[in-house]
Structure 1
Amino acid sequence: MLKKLTKEDAAYAAERCWALYQDPASRCYPVHESRETMARSFAVFCEYESGTLLGYWSGDALTGVCELYFEKETRYLRITALYAWDDACAALEAFLDEIDSSYAGYEVNAGTPPENARLAEALLCHGYAVAEENFDLRYDAVSLTPEKSTMQGIALLEDETDDGFEEYALLHDAWFPDDYWVSARLRELQGDWQAFTLRGKTGIEGALFVLTGHRMAEVYALHAESGQAARELLKAMLWQNEAAEFGANEILFMVRIEDELQVQAALDCGFTLFGRYTGWKKAI
């Protein structure tokens, strides 16, 4: 049986899900920094107008949790948590059936490690297709000291009012057409992003976009025409994080497996392989 969870359920739900999150065979994305951050997310989604937190009950026992984020205007939906234990197969079936019946017209997105075979099988059976396969690369900003970039022409944008934003916005949408963080969303997101642009003879020729945070930041997009340009943009971002008063302790970078240039640039800058990520999509 499915029903919405309450704030009173959030701590227990997070405790069970966090234990599963430790194992790639039962983990799903997005990344959580700790059990406490997962519990806070669950508590928010219990009453969130753009999300919901569902529980699957086998008798009197909670045996599954599904957190969903959705945007009614764009018909976008992301599965932000999907965990099940004990009667796991029944729970996954119930959650995915509920998504199919309640979100007609939406594009559904989900992310898993390839090791989570049970969830991958359930997604395939419900008509989801693989949209991308990435390396999950991590940079330990606590232990490492980045090398400072020496390339001329790198500038930092942090707000839509910054000089160069309008020029960058057009390129951002052209370079990253399938990215969730289109320039229109950047205009709405105040103070939580940075874009490092690389200007050459013809204007902006490369860029790196990162969502900032105290404990964790994430590089969402990188466009560079050479390995050197990619490395220098990464160095500029890492140096800025090092110099910030509240820089991130860890930086996540999802790189497409086939993009050897970006993978090598990230490894050269101190990123290491944490795992792999499979992105799934389905139009209902």
Structure 2
Amino acid sequence: MDALRTPDECFAGLSGYPFQPRYATIDDLRLHYLDEGDPDGPVVLLLHGEPSWSYLYRTMIPPLVDAGCRVLAPDLIGFGRSDKPAAVADYSYQRHVDWMLDWLRQIDPDGVTLFCQDWGSLIGLRLVAAEPDRFARVFVGNGGLPTGDERVPAAFRLWRAFALYSPIFPVAGIMRVATRAPMSKATARAYAAPFPDKRYLAGARAFPALVPITPDDPASEPNREAWAVLRGFDKPFHTCFSDGDPITRGLDRGLRRRVPGAEGVEHTTIEGAGHFLQEDKGREIAAFMRRQMGC
């Protein structure tokens, strides 16, 4: 497949993002990730959604590092500093799972605490189901693992149509709409940095259409199989949803009913946050995680 690589100069001087880039090779594609903190500390894996990238976690990483954690934050293929296959058809749900599972096995951490949101949840929960022994604890914020058997919110159908058919795809504007806090020009520029022109947007355009919304979607059965594993996952499983997301509202209740590890642990609602709650309330989320992890 043909792939694009965002020039490094696009990422120069980004506000609040002082982290050292690291790279792995997956299927001849370069995948970017952050690896911050004590290399021998408890591992925290942060998985972003779309159209964001690891920049989304810039306010969560320092307090987790200060707690003694090793923090991993990859950019999904098609996003951030990772390579970007140039055609929408180059992306599938299964391919995204396989890319991230390949990367995870290369890094090979154990005792992992996962925080996942948006597509980070659709991929991250598949990773947990594929290798449950690798994970010690899970936090899900504004996300889930759909099988196509559920009702799809109207807000998501509108978003799906926009991503597929709109002649423009303004990443900074999308991030502004999906957050509650005022966004500075510098922050908006950072979210748009991976996409210097429309050629780089295939991955972001593709993602909404890859969410299974019918029972016969290609991803439906693999997700049902993942749920068969998650229904036996009895390690701590926390929900950390915002109060201002029309797309994932209510999914936290289903997660708590279905995953045994959600029983008897603390859950929280992040007030005053939109879909991208990490952007709105990252420090509060990190504090909640630290309390549950005892660090």
TM-score (norm 2): 0.30
TM-score (norm 1): 0.31
